[in-house]
Amino acid sequence: MLAELLRPLPPERAHALALALARMAPPIPRRTRPRLATRLAGLALPHPVGLAAGFDKNAEAFAGLLRLGFAFVEVGTVTPRPQAGNPPPRLFRLVEDRALVNRMGFNNDGLEAVAARLARRDRAAGVVGANIGVNRDSDDPIADYVLGIERLAPLVDYLVVNVSSPNTPGLRDWQRPERLAPLLATLMRGLRERVGSGRRPPLFLKIAPDLENGQEATIVATALEAGIDGLVISNTTTARPESLRSPFKREVGGLSGDPLFAPSTELLRRVAARVRGRLALVGVGGIDSPERAYAKIRAGASAVQLYTGLVYEGPRLVRRILDGLERLLDRDRLERLEDAIGLDLRDRHD
């Protein structure tokens, strides 16, 4: 298994090798799964499983990753200017906890390099989104986001505004309504102006799992008022559960993987109850099995994203999840995956 072969390598070196192998990935025969088709803010997906931002930061391997079976791939996070990120070591495997801690710090090649690669993509090959952020030393974060929107909007199928990474100082303050409202209003205005009369790509906001009590209510209200299309729930967490066993558990950075599953899914469920279908939701955090992907869908997600699960399970995880989702639909006597979206919320009201 690829994941086991890469595990002896230092985490960043293993990631670089996995990325190189993904670029060379041959097409894998896909079984048509009409029951698993879903729509995400108007985007037609053959199934709900996508790759989260952070793996293909620089838009180098998205074509190969789509060939491996992902329904959609999110590149980035991309900042206007190239950025080295935080000094290494900055990525840690918590093997005992099936988790990662990262403090990468938006290391990327910058907007122009990423845009040049995206401009050459075959749009018929699959859905590609871009996650945009700000440079660490930016004097005008809103202008950074606007640059990302304007440059990448014509090149991708959707955009994600990242205000929730814990590894850029002060970034999460942009989730507060007094900052978030003008940010989203400016971005939506810039997006409409950039595409003119053409169809604009959907705009999503990626939020943190570590929200203050009730903060999701103000985020939902602000998102709806701004007219964005959806939320990605959630980014990594700064919390450190007492159950963690790894010697790396106290490393500074965002924790992902198994320990993030429960809190991110509960946040998804609370947000879905408030949204009531008015925003598209993407579930992220701790997905390493069909059951966990299905739990996110039942909690209100129209699609899900993997990252850490891929590190521990390898690329076969995608097919295993899809096979399992079909079995779970049979178990629940559901014809289509779309019938399962938000099912837990409907059950609570029955």
- Cα 325 to Cα 52, 261, 292, 297: the distances in Å are 19, 18, 10, 10
Instruction: Provide the H-helix boundaries in 251-315.
Output: 258-275, 290-298, 308-313
On whether the pTM is more than 0.85, the answer is yes
Give the residue, 213 or 344, on which the prediction is more confident. Answer: 344
What's the pLDDT at 231? 98
CA 124 – CA 37 distance, rounded (Å): 17
165 is catalytic: yes
DSSP one-letter code for 237? B
Confidence of residue 57 (pLDDT cuts 50, 70, 90): very high
> Among 4-8, 189-193, 244-248, 262-266, whose mean pLDDT is lowest?
4-8
Question: Model confidence over 181-222: pLDDT tens digits?
Answer: 999 999 999 998 877 667 899 999 999 999 988 899 999 999
What's the pLDDT at 349? 53
**Given the residues 164, 165, 234, 256, the one annotated as active site:** 165
Ordered domains of the chain (ranges, CATH): 2-349 (3.20.20.70)
Helices and strands in the chain, H and E counts: 12, 13
Question: Model confidence over 101-148: pLDDT tens digits?
Answer: 999 999 999 999 999 999 999 999 999 999 999 999 999 999 999 999
What's the pLDDT at 31? 80
CA 99 – CA 321 distance, rounded (Å): 19
